[in-house]
Chain A
Amino acid sequence: MSQPFRLNKEGLINRNKKLSFTFNGKKLFGYEGDTIASALIANGIHLVGRSFKYHRPRGFFGAGVEEPNAKLQVEFNGHSEPNVNATEMELVEGLSATSQNCWPSVNFDIGAINNFLKMFFPAGFYYKTFMWPKSFWYKIYEPFIRKAAGLGVASIEKDKERYEHKFEYCDLLVTGSGPSGLASAYAAAKNGAKVILAEDKPRFGGTLLTDDVSIDNLSGKDWAEKIITELKSMPNVTVKNRSQVFGYYDHNMLVMFERVSDHLEKKSKFTPRQRLWYIRAKETILSTGSIERPIVFGNNDTPGIFLSAAAKEYMKVYGVLVGKKPLIFTNNDSAYETALEFKKNNVEPIILDTREEHSSELIDEAKSKGIDIRFSHGVIVANGYKKVKSAKIGKLNKDKNSFEKIETVDCDCICVSGFWTPSVHLASQSGNKLKYEEKIDAFIPDKKKQHETSVGAANGSFTLEESLKHGFENGSNLSAKITETKTEISIPNVNEKKYGAHDKFWCMPLPKNENPKRFVDFQNDVSVSDIEIALREGYRSIEHVKRYTTLGMATDQGRTSNLNGLQLVSNIENKIVPEVGHTTFRPPFTPITIGTIVGREVGMEYMPTRKTPMHEWHEKNNAVFVDAGAWKRPRYYKLGSETLFEASKREAKNVRENVGICDVTTLGKIDIKGPDAAEFLNRVYTNAWMKLPVGKARYGLMLREDGIVMDDGTTTRISENHYHMTTTTAQAANVLSHLEYYLQIVWPELNVNVVSTTEQWAGAAIAGPKSRDMLSKLYPDLDVSNEALPFMGYKEAEFFGVPSRIFRISFSGELAYEINVKSDHGMFMWEKMMEVGKDFGNQPYGTEALSTLRIEMGHVAGPELDGRTIPSDVSLNGLVSKKKDFIGKNSLGREAFNVESRQKIVGLIPIDRKSSIPEGSHIVQDQNAKLPNPKLGHVSSSCWSVENNNPFSLAIMKDGKNMIGKKFFAVSPLKNKSIEVEVISSHYVDPEGKRVRS
């Protein structure tokens, strides 16, 4: 169980706690504080995956978010998660990781045949190949590509974990806890600002953990620890590790992804797995640091090839050697630190420096330690298939386009450094137009659009001294503007090594007759030749080159490939990089789980559920519910083994013959008060409202300004200046906003107030020929005769000691009443009604029976008022006043609204009196006509008429009533039905409306 590549002492891991895990079934162990990557490397395992397109063997390349290759399927704590970044995921006891995109195994992968056929898979291969024949797409090409695409496998199990959302506000958000971030947060905290400091790694400190520096005579790591400890003790500071700020949105809103418990072996039931933070920051410091970029060379994707800083991080943080015979390939001084670190651990590196022989503090130190340095040298091609075995290296000529000498050296790893790229993703997302900084060959933030300031390496300052100075100054100045307090802080003394200039060199030339793949983008398998092809084929815009080659489009967002890709395009096109420009950076910066985005809004919490006060009774009495917006409404009450059809027929029939009660609490209710209320209603509704007496209700129709019917309902005059409006369940919220719009903006001179009272009143409709008898038992002291309480009448009376409102209104077309009591008394009212109703054959009825009743009466509802109909389309033109103005009136004169052949409401019955007509059916003259068969209208609502015992439908049809008596076909291709129908009046039952007035 020894770990051949683990150092004895070095690192920040806890050697006292061993963790066991498996990789591709093999049992291994690591230590607390390891990532999956560091534990595998410690065990000498480098081959972890296969590449996306060519299935080439791939190993680790980085040590954090920049990792393009090491994406694993990981099972832990009961999850199976695909595409987990092995360099970020912390090791937990019992974790099991497997390689992706390989079959049957990562060692022997059939798909690797693609690698040998690579000349057949150039850029744009899919675009070019899968075009013809068209009919092949669905059955052959698409399933094939779908199978080949993607890497890991998403779990089909239900996610049992808890995810949370949190909203936070702060003065200053600092993203990244490297030197500049720590300095910013510290300075702002000292000024009394409310600060959030976010670090995506488990450990704070960024490069301070790996760089050989000192601050105020403390090592970088100790200084970071000191500052973090102090920040944590301050009440105005929130310090968060394992937290990635991944998106910068409008008005300084940033979104952060916190891995709360993925690293924990045991956690409490209520600890969320991950948490999404919505942070509204007055100011943001972007101290996101920089990412090392590679130099491009042949077979540069072979396992064992690392970024040089990653190799150093593995040694310093995890106590792990990435190899014991390293080649360091660099164009700058920073890689010398990696070489020195190897040397410190008794490993002999060879440095290949593309620069000509020169001197700097680091070079001199490496020389003095006896490190083999070869100037003007570089790696041409790495040898070895599943692991680097040796490298062909060459001495570059003066122009660096060919070689003076080529030789092969043995090695087991290559650490490459092509200088540093500031992480400008968040700045760019905020709207900052980046600028190209010649000095560092990279983009840095320029003009800001939001309250953001990049500091340190993210802003292109690569020295510790500058980073700290930037951090302290900006943290202090930005926070002082907010808190109006300024605490003087002395900038600490810094001891760091001075770097010499880097070499503007990024891609090794190839010797004649050699053509190994030189990868620019590892994750999407984009090579130098792919980009060359794209340009040869005429793609010029970098955005087009990106899409054609998929350069930078993988989940690593091209962190190690974008700039090299741009350099390549600019070289070929003979342009400078700023002319080529850069592609767009988009959130999220790192992949985040879907669970985090969804948060707690799953299952019952997906949206609020609105229940009426009588809901429990419905539940107990076998109601089957239907969603009406957020409301739950009983659709029918199931007796025994009844079907929906049988139950709704029974319920509707009982209303026509006896009496039924229906929960109508969900109807929108709006209280309208004020001396100008009548005038307001007169403008809102199409019919006249000035003369409605107190104690009377009226049916009203509302239009939009374009003349289309918006809603209908009854409004009752409760007292002189007080009205009670009802709306449909669906439109309640829209109608309220509509009324508020006119009162606040258009007619502020009207003295009227409106407020929603939907939730304040519980409502029950009592409908049927025996409803008056039942009502008289419910109100023994009240005169409920037709004379005392006529149709559209209104009374207030006590309902068994509870105040109530009685409206004589009807949706079912029967003699009917609606009783409203305060919501708290809803259940009491309902139970009393059920008790008293027994003597009259009362049964509750649901929305399905309600629909049946209104359809056969020809009463319109949502399916007819579908946002396309005007009053005359639905036979409601009698409600449209010719004498007064109202909302939408001017639009009713439009030519198209007054064409005789316009589609209008009619009734339909099947010729056979048996076949029910599917809603949505199209009405056609000839069911066998050639397509496109002219459509004469559509079926809006269908029911089984309980009155006539046959199907009946409402339809909106061309020429409307002129078609009565004619025969057509109602065709539903969806249900595969064609039914011969006869057009009749839309008022199928009681066309004179005698019952409601009886």
Chain B
Amino acid sequence: MLYIKCPYCGLRAQKEFSYGGDATVKRPNINEEVSSEDWDNFVYMRKSPRGKHIELWQHIAGCRQWIKVQRDTATHEIFQTAKVTEEIR
């Protein structure tokens, strides 16, 4: 079970969180024209990297905040966690 550092609550067990997918995907702006390709990329296309991956998790059984987690998909090592408003590099 992973040990995830919620930027608001501190280190918590994985069972308090739910997974939310790739955090680097950006939704096209609302009320703006978007090409079919950009839209498809947003809705469907995801990379499945082996290694570092920035992803979203929600602390559903805690503060209910969505957070960013940089995790190694092969080893589960977590390098960094951040608020969604912050950048992970």
| Contact between B30 and A683, CB atoms less than 8 A apart | yes
Distance of A813 from chain B, by nearest CB (Å): 34
CB nearest neighbor in B for A746: B27
Is A705 within 8 A of B43, CB to CB? yes
Contact partners of A431 in chain B: CB under 8 A: 75
Q: Which of B27, B44, B78 has a CB less than 8 Å from the CB of A251?
A: B78
Closest-CB distance, B73 to chain A (whole angstroms): 12
B76 engages A251 (CB within 8 Å): yes
Complex CA–CA separation, A748 to B84 (angstroms): 10
Q: Within the assembled complex, what's the spacing in Å between the Cα atoms of A605 and B22?
A: 35
Smallest CB separation, B25 vs chain A (Å): 10
Q: Which residues of B contact A539 (CB under 8 A)?
A: none
> Are A737 and B3 in contact (CB-based, < 8 A)?
no
Does B1 lie within 8 Å of A741, measured CB to CB? no
| Residues in chain A near residue B34, CB distance under 8 A | 890
Q: How large is the interface on B (under 10, 10 to 19, 20 to 34, 35 or more residues)?
A: 20 to 34
| Cβ 8 A contact of A253, one of B1, B18, B56 | B1
What count of chain A residues pass the 8 Å CB interface test?
Answer: 26
Look across to chain A and name the residue whose beta carbon is closest to the beta carbon of B18: A737
Contact B58 A740 (CB under 8 A): yes
Contacts of B20 in A (CB 8 A): 741
Q: Assess whether A705 is in contact with B66, with CB atoms less than 8 Å apart.
A: no
Q: Which residues of B contact A253 (CB under 8 A)?
A: 1, 3
**CB contact under 8 A between A705 and B42, given known A251-B78, A744-B84, A745-B84:** yes
The B-contacting residues of A in range 734-756, CB under 8 angstroms, are 737, 740-741, 744-748
* B79 contacts A by Cβ under 8 Å: no
B9 interface residue per 8 A CB criterion: no
- 8 Å CB contacts to A: which residues of B6-54? 13, 18, 20, 27-28, 30-31, 34, 39, 42-44
Roughly how many angstroms separate A216 CA and B77 CA in the complex, as a whole number?
Answer: 43
Per-residue A-contact encoding for B70-89, CB less than 8 Å = 1, 0 else: 00000111100000110000
Cα A167 to Cα B16 in complex, Å, equals 14
> What separation, in Å, do the CA atoms of A232 and B52 have in the docked complex?
44
Q: Is the CB of A706 within 8 A of B43?
A: yes
Q: Which chain A residues lie closer than 8 Å to B27 at the CB level?
A: 705, 746
A449 within 8 A of B: yes
Residues in A with CB closer than 8 Å to B78 are 251
A249 contacts the other chain (CB 8 A): yes
Q: Does A121 contact B (CB under 8 A)?
A: no
Q: Is the CB of A744 within 8 A of B1?
A: no
Measured between beta carbons, the chain A residues less than 8 angstroms from B76 are 250-251
Query: Which residue of B39, B66, B77 is within 8 Å of A745 (Cβ)?
Result: B66
User: For residue B3, which residues in chain A have a CB less than 8 angstroms away from its CB?
Assistant: 250-253, 280
Complex CA gap A706/B41 in Å reads 11
Known: A251-B78, A744-B65. A278 touches B1 (CB 8 A): yes
Interface residues of A in 421-478 (CB under 8 A from B): 431, 449
A 369-410 to B, binary, CB cutoff 8 A, 1 in contact else 0:
000000000000000000000000000000000000000000
Q: Is A22 engaged at the interface, CB distance under 8 Å to the other chain?
A: no
Q: Considering the chains assembled together, what is the distance between the CA atoms of A167 and B34 in angstroms? A: 49
Residue in B1, B43, B60, B75 whose beta carbon sits within 8 Å of that of A737 in the complex: B60
- Docked Cα-Cα span, A250 to B71, in Å, equals 12
Give the residues in chain B near A745, CB-CB below 8 Å.
Answer: 56, 66, 84
Task: From the candidates B39, B66, B75, B84, name the one contacting A449 in the complex (CB within 8 A).
Answer: B75
Task: State how many angstroms separate the Cβ of B60 from the closest Cβ of chain A.
Answer: 7
Q: Is the CB of A251 within 8 A of B30?
A: no
Distance in Å: Cβ of B40 to nearest Cβ of chain A: 9
A759 interface residue per 8 A CB criterion: no
**With a CB–CB cut-off of 8 A, which chain B residues contact A733?**
60
B84 to chain A, nearest CB (A): 5
What is the chain B residue whose CB lies nearest that of A167? B13
A499–B29 Cα distance when bound, in Å, is 75
Instruction: Across the interface, name the chain B residue whose C-beta is closest to A734.
Output: B18
Contacts of B66 in A (CB 8 A): 740-741, 744-745
Q: Does A959 contact B (CB under 8 A)?
A: no
Q: Are A747 and B30 closer than 8 Å at their CB atoms?
A: yes
How distant is the Cα of A263 from the Cα of B27 in the complex, in angstroms? 61
Give the nearest-CB partner of A756 in chain B. Answer: B64
Q: In the complex, what distance in Å separates the CA atom of A506 from the CA atom of B60?
A: 56
What is the minimal beta-carbon distance from B11 to any residue of chain A, in angstroms? 8
Report yes or no: B1 in contact with A249, Cβ–Cβ below 8 A.
yes
Taken residue by residue from 236 to 263, chain A's Cβ proximity to chain B (1 for < 8 Å, 0 otherwise) reads as 0000000000000111110000000000
Is A891 an interface residue when CB atoms closer than 8 A count as contact? Answer: yes
Question: Taking the complex as formed, is A947 at the interface, i.e. its CB lies under 8 A from any CB of chain B?
Answer: no
Measured in the bound complex, the distance between the Cα atoms of B19 and A737 in whole Å is: 11
Those of A659-718 within 8 Å (CB) of chain B: 683, 705-706
B68 nearest in chain A by CB position = A745
Interface pair A251/B1, CB less than 8 Å apart: yes
Report Cα–Cα, A890/B28, bound state, in Å. 10
Residues of A within 8 A of B56 (CB): 745
Residues of A within 8 A of B28 (CB): 890
Within 8 A of B (CB), among A862-895: 884-885, 890-891
B1 to chain A, nearest CB (A): 5
Q: What separation, in Å, do the CA atoms of A119 and B5 have in the docked complex?
A: 59
Q: Closest A-chain residue to B1, C-beta based?
A: A253
Complex: chain B residue closest to A891, CB-CB: B43
For B85, the chain A residues whose CB sits under 8 A away are: 748
Q: Give every chain A residue within 8 A of B84 (Cβ-Cβ).
A: 744-745, 748
Question: How far apart are A29's CB and chain B's nearest CB, in angstroms?
Answer: 45
Compute how far the CA of A710 lies from the CA of B65 in the bound complex, rounded to whole angstroms: 22
Chain A residues near B43 (CB-CB < 8 A): 705-706, 891
Give Cα A249–Cα B2 distance, bound, in whole angstroms.
8
Give Cα A890–Cα B77 distance, bound, in whole angstroms: 37
Interchain CB contact under 8 A, B39 and A890: yes
Which residue of chain A is the closest to B35 with respect to CB atoms?
Answer: A890
With both beta carbons as reference points, the residue of chain A lying nearest to B64 in the complex is identified as A740
Minimal Cβ-Cβ distance residue in A for B31: A885
Which residues of B lie under 8 Å from residue A252 when comparing CB positions? 3
Shortest CB distance B82–A (Å): 12
Q: How far is the CA of A745 from the CA of B57 in the complex (A)?
A: 12
Residues of B within 8 A of A884 (CB): 31
Give the CA-CA distance A249 to B43 in the complex, in Å: 34
In the complex, what residue of chain A is closest to B84 when comparing beta carbons? A745
| Nearest chain B residue, comparing its CB with the CB of A884 | B31
The docked-state distance in angstroms from the alpha carbon of A816 to that of B76 is: 53
Bound-complex Cα distance A748 to B66 (A): 12
Q: Is the CB of A885 within 8 A of B75?
A: no
A880 CB to nearest chain B CB (Å) = 16
Please state if A737 and B58 are interface contacts (CB–CB under 8 Å). Answer: yes
For the complex, give the distance between the alpha carbons of A251 and B58 in Å: 19
Chain A residues near B58 (CB, 8 Å)?
A: 737, 740-741
A-B complex: 7 closest residue pairs judged by Cβ atoms = A251-B3, A250-B76, A885-B31, A890-B39, A744-B66, A745-B84, A885-B30
A-B contact pairs, 23 of them (CB 8 A): A167-B13, A249-B1, A250-B3, A250-B76, A251-B1, A251-B3, A251-B78, A253-B1, A253-B3, A280-B3, A449-B75, A706-B43, A737-B18, A740-B64, A740-B66, A741-B66, A744-B66, A744-B84, A745-B66, A747-B30, A748-B84, A884-B31, A885-B31
Binding site for B on A (CB under 8 A): 167, 249-253, 278, 280, 431, 449, 683, 705-706, 733, 737, 740-741, 744-748, 884-885, 890-891
Known: A741-B58, A745-B56. 5 other contacts (CB 8 A): A251-B2, A251-B76, A252-B3, A740-B58, A885-B31
